[in-house]
Amino acid sequence: MSRIRTLIVDDEPLARRGLQLHLQRHADIEVVGEAGSGGQATQAIAALRPQLMFLDVQMPGMDGFGVLRALPATQIPLTVFVTAFDQYAIAAFAASALDYLLKPVDDRRLDEAVERARTRLAARKAEDHYERLLRLMATMPAADRPQLDALMLDEASRTGGTLNLRDGQRLVRVALNAIRWVDAAGDYICIHTHDQTHVLRGTMQELEGRLDPRRFARVHRSSIVNLERVTQLRPHPNGEYFLVLDSGHELKLSRSYRDKVRVVDGRLLAAV
């Protein structure tokens, strides 16, 4: 029987313990770790690489959405939200076709969530899951998240020092050298900078065509990286590479995008 590596994230120790006890009824669920805060969760995900995560939405400091925004797409596990949110949030989860559990957790609903996770993992629908996560994060209200409408791309974005984003009638300028990497799924993009993640509408193709290809490279179907941020390359036996960024995050360099970059004296450079 294949085991599903599972992480539990909740700031309440009793809630974590209770969920772990509930999950013991499922022989294929292997709880590989717990986290009591958003910061601990991002570290645990990077270290343990869980396939499935039960994520508390409401936590002090970095909340559940903050955890998801802080991670590269390829590191985000299949996520089941655990929440005491109001009906507005529940409707948003349902509209995005993402699973959630209401506190206190009911065994029947937990069994349904585990069965859906098994099905999705067997079908390898991780990218579809991430697209739904992005859609949810772009619509959920959050005081600490920039509510951006769309990319405003002009020729200056390609050679200049800023990327222009539209927020209603306001123009938001993001310094290009502050961008670490970009994730995308469907019509949504996450632009990760030093201290923020901008979630907005747009496509990877639009953004890639406007960024300077000498500085930014497409390394995966859903990822663009700032080459200056790559500090290490780790080869994988299957022919892919993992790119380690100066923030400690890792991105996957897939084989189909290997010709976009070249390695010179241990540094990753654009192939152009």
> Cα separation of 228 and 245, whole Å?
9
* % the chain with pLDDT above 70: 84
Average pLDDT (158-186) is 78
**Domain co-membership, 25 together with 119:** yes
Asked which of 107, 123, 139 is the last residue of a domain, the reply is: 139
Asked which of 139, 156, 173 is the last residue of a domain, the reply is: 139
**Domain co-membership, 129 together with 183:** no
> Cα separation of 36 and 211, whole Å?
38
Distances (CA, A) of 106 to 39, 82, 111, 226: 27, 11, 9, 44
Residue ranges of E strands in the chain: 4-9, 29-35, 52-56, 78-83, 100-102, 147-151, 162-167, 170-175, 181-185, 188-192, 197-201, 216-220, 223-226, 230-235, 241-245, 250-253, 261-264, 267-270
Q: How many domains does the chain fold into?
A: 2
**Domain co-membership, 182 together with 112:** no
Residues whose CB is less than 8 angstroms from the CB of residue 12 and which lie 6 or more positions away in sequence, other chains included: 56
* % the chain with pLDDT above 90: 33
**Domain co-membership, 35 together with 135:** yes
Q: Which residues of 28-60 are buried (b: 16+ CB within 10 A; e: fewer)?
A: ebebbbbbbbbebbbebbeeeebbbbbbbbebe
> Is residue 44 scored above 80 in pLDDT?
yes
Average pLDDT, the chain: 83
**Domain co-membership, 159 together with 111:** no
pLDDT given for residue 102 in this prediction:
85
Domain that holds residue 220: 147-270
Res. 146 pLDDT band, cuts 50 70 90? very low
Going by C-alpha positions, the residue among 37, 128, 150 that lies closest to residue 76 is 128
Average pLDDT (128-144) is 67
pLDDT given for residue 264 in this prediction:
78
Asked which of 139, 157, 181 is the last residue of a domain, the reply is: 139
Write out pLDDT tens, residues 197-225: 887 777 888 888 888 888 999 998 889 99
**Domain co-membership, 90 together with 183:** no
Q: Is the peptide bond before 213 cis (omega within 30 degrees of 0)?
A: no
**Domain co-membership, 113 together with 156:** no
What's the CATH code of the domain at 152? 2.40.50.1020
Write out pLDDT tens, residues 54-112: 999 889 999 888 898 888 877 889 999 998 876 656 766 766 667 888 888 899 999 99
Write out pLDDT tens, residues 1-41: 689 999 999 999 999 999 999 999 999 999 999 999 999 99
> Is residue 143 scored above 70 in pLDDT?
no
What's the CATH code of the domain at 102? 3.40.50.2300
**Domain co-membership, 18 together with 92:** yes
The phi and psi torsions of 83 (rounded to 5 degrees) equal -150, 155
Amino acid making up residue 52: L
